[in-house]
Amino acid sequence: MGRKYLDPEIGVELLSILDEYGNLDAELEPQIGNDLHLKMYRAMLVGRRFDERMLDLQRQGRIGTFPPIKGQEAAQIGSVAALRDRDWLAPSFRETAAEIMRGRSLESILLYYNGYNEGTIIPDNQHDMPMSVPVSSQIIHAVGLGFAAKYRRTDEVVMTFFGDGGTSEGDFHEGLNFAAVYQTPVVFVCQNNQWAISIPLARQTRSRTIAQKALAYGMPGIQVDGNDILAVHLAAAEAVARARGGGGPTLLECVTYRIMMHTTADDPKKYRSEEDVERWKARDPLIRYRKYLVEKNILTTHRLSELDEEVEKEIRSAIDRAEEQMRYLGQPLDMFDHLYAELPAELRAQKEALARELDSGIGAKGGANHG
């Protein structure tokens, strides 16, 4: 008998190793091999430069609407760097850097944002899911993949991404609950970039942290400085190890910030102040990491500028290849491919009707509509 209230104000500590001023917590500093450091830095760099380049292209009408990722590179790269090739990634729509790190080609991304279904093709040797636009709907797929991986007695781990806004969807709740009940090997990574289009975190949920939502599922949760790639990687590596070892799922909250607009169709001036953005620009994950790598003599300033050039070239040639492909891709009749393993009679008839239309020149009004 007796009583005691839960304290709803319970929060979580921030895991931080390398802060915005370059201070390092040597005790927590993870032992990461130089190759991985290089791989992570390069991926962050590509993610950053490609994002900037896509913005130009969008402004020039050379691609359509897309969601920039600037400022979230560490949260993405630090997380997926903890995965093996055979592991799975179930991304949402703002994991461009993570997808690149996992092996998605820059061309495919350009094709996708230029309205080509061909832009979602995933290399055969790769285990990842195509990006998922309906917020948080992919979370449950990750649980299914994890259940199957466990059923097949593999040690594969699944990592899924979603945003702070995504935590409000029923699918977030159902997915984490299922994962905990079945102890599936899934790592749930929330890129808490403070905004869901125009809705700030404080109007998205009243819980002080997103990590504490893990308590609802009897699941470990941790909040890390999402702009500190060392912290993100350490937390992700621990969560992946737990999952791989049969320890079940983890909720990993990466506190970061959406530096740019939600998508190129959005105008943040309508709903947020520049100061806030400036404060976060000072916490830039790429600059912070680069400083660390140089101080540790893992990268020389000379090598850094070489990398800048390499990446520039890589992006330029990807754009060329993509624009080359667009000349012959986008044939209207192809839209009938891949809906079913076999085209049903009714659809065959519809395809033939479109073919006739295209021959007769009526189709002229249709066809690809770039620009």
Ligand X SMILES: Cc1ncc(C[n+]2csc(CCOP(=O)(O)OP(=O)(O)O)c2C)c(N)n1
Instruction: Judge whether 338 counts as a catalytic residue.
Output: no
CA atoms within 13 A on the CB side of 267: 2
Stretch that binds ligand X, among 4-12, 131-139, 214-222, 311-319 (CB under 6 A): 131-139
The conformation of residue 270, written as its DSSP 8-state character, comes to G
254 phi, psi to nearest 5 deg: -100, 115
Q: Is 258 a catalytic residue?
A: yes
**Contact string (CB under 6 A) for ligand X, positions 90-109, x = contact:** ----x---------------
Of 143, 180, 254, 260, which one interacts with a copy of itself (CB under 8 A)? 180
Name residues contacting Mg ion, limited to 195-214 (CB under 5 A).
195-196
222 binds a copy of itself (CB under 8 A): yes
Residue at 278: amino acid letter: E
The 23-62 site mask, x for binding a copy of itself (CB under 8 A), equals x-x--x----------------------------------
For residues 225 and 207, give the distance between their C-alpha atoms in angstroms, rounded to a whole number.
18
Report the C-alpha gap between 95 and 80 in whole angstroms.
10
- What is the rounded distance in angstroms from the CA atom of residue 228 to the CA atom of residue 292? 11
Least CB distance from residue 24 to another protein, whole Å?
36
Q: Which conformational region is residue 154 in: left (phi greater than 0), alpha (psi within -120 to 50 degrees), or beta? A: beta
Residue 153 touches which of ligand X, Mg ion, a copy of itself, none (Cβ within 5-8 Å per kind): none
**285: contact with ligand X by CB under 6 A:** no
Asked if 139 contacts 160 with a C-beta cutoff of 8 angstroms, the reply is yes
- CA atoms of 159 and 88, how far apart (whole Å): 6
Interaction between residue 218 and another protein (CB under 8 A): no
**Pick 200 or 246: Cβ nearer ligand X:** 200
Kindly tell me which residue out of 25, 29, 169, 314 binds another protein, with binding defined by CB under 8 A. Answer: 169
Q: Does 164 bind Mg ion (CB under 5 A)?
A: yes
Min separation Cβ 47 and ligand X, Å: 14
| Interface mask toward ligand X for 237-266; x: CB under 6 A | ---------------------x---x----
Site size toward another protein, by CB under 8 A: 89
C-alpha angle 326/130/155, rounded to 5°?
140
CA dihedral 221, 205, 71, 39 (to 10 degrees): 20
Pinpoint the alpha helices (H) of 81-200: 96-102, 106-112, 137-151, 170-182
What is the C-alpha to C-alpha distance for residues 355 and 334, in angstroms, rounded to an integer? 11
CA distance 236 to 166: 19
**215 interacts with a copy of itself by CB under 8 A:** yes
Is residue 80 part of the contact set for ligand X (CB under 6 A)?
Answer: no
Q: Which residues bind a copy of itself (CB under 8 A)?
A: 1-6, 8-10, 12-13, 15-17, 19, 23, 25, 28, 168-174, 177, 180-181, 203-208, 211-222
List residues with catalytic annotation. 258, 262, 271
